Amino acid sequence: DQQVKQNSPSLSVQEGRISILNCDYTNSMFDYFLWYKKYPAEGPTFLISISSIKDKNEDGRFTVFLNKSAKHLSLHIVPSQPGDSAVYFCAAGGSNYKLTFGKGTLLTVNP
């Protein structure tokens, strides 16, 4: 059973517009959530996180929103840039250091 779901395998947006990547989870014991970005031939790199006690966290062009009642989080990138083109993984964790990842969404930002 997939506990963390990214239902969109891919997303294409124009440079300068907003990119919205979505993630759903089923385990109510998750208490923190992260987004990772992955370029080809590299390991994933941490982008932004949010604790379950918050509903929003912002870092520059990146904002993560958490809706606990809906068990849904989203990553907003504004404005999108061609260098943002990568695979984005949503991950969720609880108290045991274990992270559960979604399958990833390939974002393509077109110039």
Partner 1 sequence: EAQVTQNPRYLITVTGKKLTVTCSQNMNHEYMSWYRQDPGLGLRQIYYSMNVEVTDKGDVPEGYKVSRKEKRNFPLILESPSPNQTSLYFCASSLHLGTQYFGPGTRLTVL
Q: Is 54 in the site for partner 1 (CB under 8 A)?
A: no
Pair type for strands 105-110 and 10-14: parallel
Q: Is 62 in the site for partner 1 (CB under 8 A)?
A: no
Q: What is the DSSP letter of 4?
A: E
Among 66, 73, 89, 107, interactor with partner 1 by CB under 8 A: 89
Closer residue to partner 1 in complex, CB, 96/111: 96
Asked if residue 92 lies in contact with residue 33, where contact means CB atoms within 8 angstroms, the answer is yes
Amino acid at site 100: T
Closer residue to partner 1 in complex, CB, 14/27: 27
Q: Is 32 in the site for partner 1 (CB under 8 A)?
A: yes
CB burial of 79-92 (b: ≥16 within 10 Å; e: otherwise) equals: ebeeebbbbbbbbb
Closer residue to partner 1 in complex, CB, 32/65: 32
Q: Is 53 in the site for partner 1 (CB under 8 A)?
A: no
Among the listed residues 58, 50, 9, the one whose alpha carbon sits nearest the alpha carbon of residue 30? 50
Q: Is 43 in the site for partner 1 (CB under 8 A)?
A: yes
Positions in the binding site for partner 1 (CB under 8 A) = 6, 9, 32, 34, 36, 41-46, 49, 89, 91, 93, 95-104
